[in-house]
Amino acid sequence: MLIDTHTHLYLDDFSSEESAVVERAISAGVQKLVFPNVDISTIEPMRKLHDCFPDNIFMAMGLHPTEVDGAWGDTLGVVEKELIKHRNDYIAIGEIGIDLYWDKTYKDQQMEVFSIQVEWANKYNLPIIIHCREGLSEVLEVLKNASSVPTGVFHSFGGTIEDVEAIRSIGDFYFGINGIVTFKNSKLKNVLPAIGADRILLETDSPYLAPVPYRGKRNESSYIVKTAQTVSEALDIPFEKVAELTSENAERLFKLNNNL
């Protein structure tokens, strides 16, 4: 069994094919999928697809950093209302964080919105799913200033051994590894031993970042097998063992304790 710990199969990219894509994932051995929310427009489609596969799909609620703008207060209010209304439906706060790659205009607002959501995680005792793109020092600053540092995952991790150490100096975090690790010029393979098999989560980040040989195409959760194979080679651990260890990691972090 594999677990895709970060996938957005409810987005328009999969229009009318969502159920087929989930079924393909299950057939490929991906029996559990974690859906992180993006913004207020994605809550309904995410919940709808979840309701078709309630034993396989787990959801996280949060506001993505690229969706933070001058009107963030109202947006975040809607997200918080949803979290409170369906508290037991959500296994994590996410995805949340800092993204200064596309636009730095709302950096201060992104940090404030991230900080507020980190406190939701503390309040509800939930892990966080962190999106961090060109914002590691800002993410670490927010975490250091939090009332307490929740556990969580640095999703789509593509950093260095130094980044791993900087993150570990703040708290106990997992690292989400996706198709990036399969890219020919990626140095991420060399970082995996420093992370260790006990802190690696597998993910696809579908529809983005498809692994080789699907690079550049629309990604889907069944392709996670390719990423697992690369992780297996990089760590010199058999594929079945990688599947077992990374699934245990996901179940431990997100408390996915319904047994399939």
DSSP 225-251: HHHHHHHHHHHT--HHHHHHHHHHHHH
Task: Report helix, strand and coil shares of the chain as percent, to nearest 5.
Answer: 50, 15, 35
The residue assigned the tokens 């406190």 is: 119
Please identify, using beta-carbon distances, which residue of 95 and 138 lies nearer to Ni ion: 95
How far, in Å, are 49, 130, 229 from residue 58 at the CA level? 10, 16, 24
CB of 169 to Ni ion, least distance (A): 25
**Cβ 6 to Ni ion shortest distance, Å:** 6
x/- track of binding to Ni ion for residues 165-194 (CB under 5 A): ------------------------------
- State the binding string over 202-221 for Ni ion (x if CB under 5 A, else -): --------------------
**Burial of residue 194, with CB atoms counted within 10 A of its CB: 0-12 exposed, 13-18 middle, 19 or more buried:** middle
C-alpha distances out from residue 230 to 192, 199, 238, Å: 10, 16, 11
The nearer residue to Ni ion, 138 or 203, going by C-beta atoms, is 203
- Smallest distance from Ni ion to CB 2, Å: 18
Q: What is the x/- site pattern for Ni ion, positions 114-153, by CB under 5 A?
A: ----------------------------------------
Nearest to Ni ion of 120, 235 (CB atom): 120
For residues 187 and 101, what is the distance between their CA atoms, to the nearest angstrom?
20
Q: Would you say 4 or 95 has its CB closer to Ni ion? A: 95
Q: Are 221 and 231 in contact (CB under 8 A)?
A: no
Residue 5 CB, nearest approach to Ni ion (Å):
11
Which position's Cβ is nearest Ni ion? 95
> 107: helix, coil or strand?
helix
What is the per-residue binding string for Ni ion in 60-99, x denoting contact by CB under 5 A? Answer: -----------------------------------x----
Q: Look up tokens 């997992």; give the residue.
A: 174
To Ni ion, the closest distance from the beta carbon of 203 in angstroms equals: 9
Element (H, E) at 32: strand 30-36
Contact criterion met (CB below 8 Å) for 195 and 233: no
Which C-beta is closer to Ni ion: that of 154 or that of 197?
Answer: 154
CB of 8 to Ni ion, least distance (A): 6
Q: Return the number of the residue (93 or 235) whose C-beta is nearest Ni ion.
A: 93
Give the nearer residue to Ni ion in terms of CB position, either 18 or 95: 95
List C-alpha distances in Å: 177 to 48, 156, 249. Answer: 27, 6, 13
Give how many residues touch Ni ion by CB under 5 A: 1
Binding residues for Ni ion, rule: CB under 5 A, are 95
